[in-house]
Structure 1
Amino acid sequence: MRIAVAGTCGLARAIAREIQEGTSHQLLVLSRSHQPGLLSQGYQCQVVDYNDPTSIQHSLMGVDTVISTVTGNAQLRLIEAAVACRVRRFVPAEFEGQPGLRSANDPLDRGKSAALGMLLHYGAYIKSTVFVCGILYERFLPNGMISQRIGVNTGYANEGDYIVDARNMMATAPVYDAGGNLSYLCLTSAYDVARFVVKALDMAHWPAEMSMCGERISVRALVDTIQTCRGKVYNYLAWQNVEGLNYELRMAQHTNDVPRAKKITTLVATAEGKYDFATPAYLNLQFPDIRPIRFQDWFLSNWASVP
């Protein structure tokens, strides 16, 4: 098959690398700008103008499947072009929690619901699936997931923006849900997401959603794991529940502190279980030969040299 990966962020590159090195599929990387680094590594790249339908359609000629990591209007134009070019399958830029758990007017949506609505509208002409992976391990990278150009425009991609600031040992942990129960979340590394996604390319049938999970863990256990790995005691640690977080969110909104409001919204979503799903995950069952890396092992390997 000819597979087009739209975007060049860290996740897109991981998926592209897995296709290029592990399959016989033909790969095309779509980018807004020239990519001499990828070209030098043997990747086929195409510069595309997402404001020009002709440019997108030209890039998608002969493509069987599109995997998108672009959001907003760019993704909507990409879907329209895919339909026009009779692309068989489309993967929207989700790669997080279950879309059905997003609330109306979710500030974290970034046009994702509109893309899903468009794919539903064109469902008779193009098949699609949502890859559900929970939270990417890369949110906890030194220098944040923005260091791999993941989530650049989200407002919560920097180091320490989500739950734990591991460098300064500070945490605001959404430990309890509305019922006072421990909140859980599923996490997966970008590397393992890429492996599962590429394996799924050869599946004859795609359900509406396909989940994967590197590890399912409670927020409390996550915070404790990071403390153990760092070998340091937290300088500041706030255990939070949904009610407390919603109060902080209203205060941030009242003062028009948009950056803080976005970060708190991710914590509220965590406490509400929007990044959690039943295990074992669908793709873990389909491909038991894939052994995802544990969060603790991943964290230790990435923070070993950080004082």
Structure 2
Amino acid sequence: MRIAVAGTCGLALIIAREIHEQTSHQLLILSRSHQPGLISQGYQCQVVDYNDPTSIQHSLMGVDTVVSTVTGNAQLRLIEAAVACRVRRFTPADFEGRPALRIQNDPLDRGKAAALALLQHYRGYIQSTVFICGVLYERFSVDGMISHRIGVNTGFANEGDYILDARNMTAQAPVYDQAGNMANLCLTSAYDVGRFVVRALDMPQWPAELSMCGERMSVTTLINTVKSCRGRDFNTQWHTPDTLRYELTLAQMAGDIPRQRRLFTLIATAEGRYDFATPAYLNAQFPDIRPVSFRDWFTRNWASVP
């Protein structure tokens, strides 16, 4: 089976490496620019111009499945080209919470809704699924998930941008939902996302959503886990959706766009947008995949930081 991975961000390369090393599928990496480093490692790469439908269609000849990590208009053109080339399956760049929990005119959308709408429009011609993994562990990485080349354009990919700053031990904690219950979230390492995605390529049928989870926990447990790993106390501001919306109003009045983006992610967390039922679908389907725990991942990632 010929699989095209669109994009060369950190997550794309994790998925590509897993296909390359663990399956007999033919792998093609689509990139906007020449990739001599990847080619020297034995990967087949194709330069693609997302502004040119002919270029995209040429790159998709003979492809069975597209795994996309490109967003916005580039992804919409990729979907159109995949349909034109009779590609059998397409999975969009999503890799977050369940789409049904997102709000209208979502400030965190980045073209996701348009991609899902287009795939729905073409559902008679191409199969698709959304991979749901919650929040990537890498958001809590030393130097942020941007250091893994993940979420580079999101506006909340730097160290300390989401919930907690493990270096300076400060936290903006969305611990309660609107009803006053503890807010929960599901988290997964990018490496385990790659393993689950690649295993799912061989499933005979794809449901509309395929969920996976490294660990489900409350925001309070997340903070306490990092506190325990770091051996230091947090200076924490505890939040409800209402207090976060008040903070958002202040950020809007001040014209502070980066702070607004960070607050949108905290509000989404408090509202349960990164939470879903566990055991997740793919965990149940593939029990031999044992995801790394958040504590083990964090301990390793922060081992060199005093």
Same topology, TM > 0.5: yes
Partner of 2:137: 137
Distance 1:45 1:80 in 2: 21
What secondary structure, in the 3-state scheme, does the structure 2 residue paired with 1:124 have?
A: coil
- Secondary structure of residue in 2 paired with 1:176: coil
Structure 2 CA distance for aligned equivalents of residues 162 and 279 of structure 1: 23
Query: 2:268 — aligned with what?
Result: 269
**Residues 24-79 of structure 1: CA deviation (Å, up to 9, x unaligned):** 00000001111111111100001111111111111000000000001000100000
Aligned-residue CA RMSD (Å):
0.6
Structure 2 length-normalised TM: 0.99
Q: Give the Å deviation of 1:149.
A: 1.0
**CA offsets, 1:150-180, max 9 Å, x none?**
1111000000000011011111010000111
| Alignment length (residue pairs) | 306
Give the unaligned 5+ runs of structure 2: none
> How far has the Cα of 1:255 moved from its partner?
2.2
Aligned to 1:107: 107
Please give the alpha-carbon distance, in whole angstroms, between the structure 2 residues aligned to 1:50 and 1:24: 28
Alpha-carbon deviation of 1:254? 2.3
Secondary structure of 2:19's aligned partner: helix
Per-residue deviation at 1:256? 1.9
Determine the C-alpha separation between the residues in 1 that align with 2:187 and 2:20.
25
**Distance in 1 of aligned mates of 2:228 and 2:251:** 32
**Distance in 2, Cα, partners of 1:223 & 1:243:** 20
1:71 match: 71
Listed as ranges, the matches of 1:40-79 within 5 Å are 40-79=40-79
2:237 alignment partner AA: A
The letter for the 2-side match of 1:112 is K
SS in structure 1 opposite 2:171? strand
**Any idea what the Cα deviations from partners look like across 1:173-193, whole Å, max 9, x if unmatched?**
100001111000000000000
In structure 1, what residue type is equivalent to 2:278? T
Partner of 1:27: 27
Superposition TM-score, scaled by structure 1 size? 0.99
Give, as a single letter, the amino acid of the residue that structure 1 aligns with 2:288: D
Counterpart of 2:280, as a letter, is A
Give 4+ residue runs of structure 1 displaced > 4 Å after superposition.
none
Secondary structure of 2:156's counterpart equals: coil
**Structure 2 partner of 1:254:** 253
Q: Deviations over 1:226-263 (max 9, x none)?
A: 011011122x2111111100111122122221110000
Q: Structure 1, unaligned stretches of length 5 or more?
A: none
Q: Does 1:300 align with 2:299?
A: yes
Q: Secondary structure at the match of 2:21?
A: helix
**Residues in 2 aligned to 1:248 and 1:51: alpha-carbon distance in whole angstroms:** 39
Distance in 1 of aligned mates of 2:84 and 2:246? 47
Q: Distance in 1 between matches of 2:204 and 2:94?
A: 21
Per-residue CA distance 1:63-122 (angstroms, 9 max, x = gap) = 000000010001000000000100000000000000111101101000100000000000
Partner AA of 2:108 in structure 1: L
Residue correspondence of structure 1 range 47-196 to structure 2 within 5 A? 47-196=47-196
Q: Deviations over 1:243-285 (max 9, x none)?
A: 1001111221222211100000000000000000011100000
What's 1:245 paired with? Answer: 244
